[in-house]
C-alpha cells in the first residue's frame, strides 16, 4: 500500500494509539498516567468554614446546653442564614470582652451575640441589617421599691461590662460611680442580685425575662421604663467585609421572606414578632 498518504497514515496511527489507550483503560489497573493527570488539575478549594464568635452565656439567644453545644435563637438564625447563603459556619464561644477584637484579628469572621447596633460600634465593625428588636429591662428582688430607672441613681447596680446596659447605667450614675458592679457575664450579675450583692441588674429584656421564667426561686421581678431607647441586634463582620455582609443580608432577607424567621421567633418567644403597621398612621385631626 504505497499509496498511503501521510494524512491517512496519521489517521491510522491515531486510531491505533487511541486503541491502545482504550484497551489500557479497560484493564483493572488504572493507567499509571491517570494519577499525575488528576493531581495536575487544580484541586477544588476546600469549602471555607466561617468562624462565628458568640458569648454563649446569654439565653435564650446564645447559651451552652448540657452537652456543651452552643444553642439559641441567634444560633438558629445564623444557621438558617448560612444555609440560604451556602456557607458553612462554626460557632465558637468567645468572651464578650474583646469579642470585637477577634474580628480585627481575623480569629472570627462574624459575630452573633445579641449585639446592639450603635453608632459608636459602627466605627469599629460593620453590621448586617437588624434582626431583632430589644430594650433594656431592670431586674430587682420581688420586694424592691424600684419602680423606674431613675430610682437606680444611688443604688448598687449590676451590669455586664461593656454592654448597652452598662452604658445606660453609667450615664445615669456618672462614670466615676462606685455603685456600678461590672461582671464578665450577665448571669453572674443576676447571681449577685440573688445573693443581694447588688440592688438591681440592667440587661436586655429577652435575657431578663428568660432568667425570671427559669429561676422562679430567685424571687425577681422586672421593671420596664420608657426612658430606655429601642435597640436592634445585628450580625457583625470586620469593617469593610462587604462581601460577607451582602451574603448575610441576603440570607436574612430570604429567611424573613419564606417564614423561617417567624418560625424561629415563635419557637423562642412564643409568638411571631409584632408587625409594624404597613398602612400610614391615621390623620391626627378628626
Ligand atoms: N445587647 C447588649 C449589647 O449589645 C448586650 C449583648 C450581650 N451579649 C452577650 N452574648 N453577652 O451591648
pLDDT in tens, 97-127: 999 999 999 999 999 999 999 999 999 999 9
Phi, psi of 235 (to 5 degrees): -85, 135
Mean pLDDT along residues 208-221: 97
Lowest-confidence region among 30-39, 51-60, 72-81: 30-39
Length of the chain: 286
Cα separation of 113 and 236, whole Å? Answer: 9
Q: Strand, coil or helix: what is 125?
A: strand
Ligand 1 atom showing the smallest separation from residue 96 Cα: 11
85, 247 contact by CB (below 8 A): yes
Q: Does the pLDDT at position 59 exceed 70?
A: yes
pTM: 0.82
Tell me the longest C-alpha to C-alpha distance in the chain. 116
Q: Does the structure show a pLDDT above 70 at 183?
A: yes
First to last CA, the chain: 109
Residue 7 has pLDDT above 60, yes or no: no
Packing angle of the helix pair 73-85, 242-257 (nearest 10 deg): 100
Q: Say which residue, 73 or 42, is predicted with more confidence.
A: 73
What spacing in Å lies between the alpha carbon of 64 and ligand 1's midpoint?
A: 16
Ligand 1 mutation pick, 114, 120, 169, max ligand atoms within 8 A of CB: 114
Helix (H) or strand (E) holding 90: strand 88-93
Q: Which three cell numbers stand for residue 77?
A: 438564625
Amino acid at each position: 500500500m504505497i499509496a498511503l498518504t501521510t494524512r491517512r497514515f496519521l489517521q491510522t496511527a491515531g486510531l491505533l494509539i487511541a486503541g491502545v489507550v482504550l484497551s489500557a483503560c479497560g484493564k483493572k489497573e488504572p493507567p499509571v498516567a491517570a494519577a499525575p493527570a488528576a493531581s495536575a488539575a487544580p484541586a477544588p478549594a476546600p469549602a471555607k468554614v466561617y468562624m462565628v464568635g458568640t458569648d454563649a452565656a446569654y439565653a435564650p439567644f446564645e447559651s451552652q446546653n448540657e452537652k456543651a453545644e452552643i444553642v439559641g435563637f441567634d444560633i438558629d438564625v445564623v444557621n438558617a442564614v448560612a444555609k440560604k447563603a451556602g456557607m458553612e459556619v462554626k460557632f465558637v464561644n468567645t468572651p464578650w470582652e474583646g469579642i470585637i477584637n477577634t474580628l480585627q484579628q481575623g480569629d472570627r469572621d462574624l459575630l452573633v451575640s445579641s449585639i446592639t447596633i450603635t453608632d459608636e460600634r459602627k466605627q469599629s465593625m460593620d453590621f448586617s441589617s437588624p434582626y431583632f428588636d430589644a430594650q433594656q429591662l431592670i431586674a430587682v428582688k420581688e420586694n424592691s421599691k424600684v419602680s423606674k430607672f431613675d430610682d437606680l441613681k444611688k443604688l448598687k447596680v449590676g451590669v455586664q461590662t461593656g454592654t448597652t446596659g452598662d452604658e445606660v447605667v453609667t450615664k445615669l450614675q456618672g462614670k466615676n460611680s462606685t455603685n456600678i458592679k461590672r461582671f464578665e457575664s450577665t448571669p453572674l450579675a443576676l447571681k449577685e442580685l440573688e445573693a443581694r450583692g447588688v440592688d438591681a441588674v440592667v440587661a436586655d429584656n429577652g435575657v431578663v425575662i428568660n432568667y425570671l421564667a427559669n429561676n422562679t426561686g430567685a424571687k425577681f421581678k422586672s421593671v420596664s421604663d420608657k426612658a430606655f431607647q429601642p435597640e436592634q441586634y445585628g450580625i457583625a463582620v470586620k469593617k469593610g467585609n462587604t462581601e460577607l455582609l451582602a451574603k448575610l443580608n441576603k440570607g436574612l432577607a430570604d429567611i424573613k421572606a419564606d417564614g423561617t424567621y417567624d418560625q424561629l421567633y415563635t419557637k423562642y418567644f412564643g409568638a411571631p414578632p409584632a408587625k409594624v403597621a404597613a398602612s400610614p398612621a391615621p390623620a391626627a385631626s378628626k
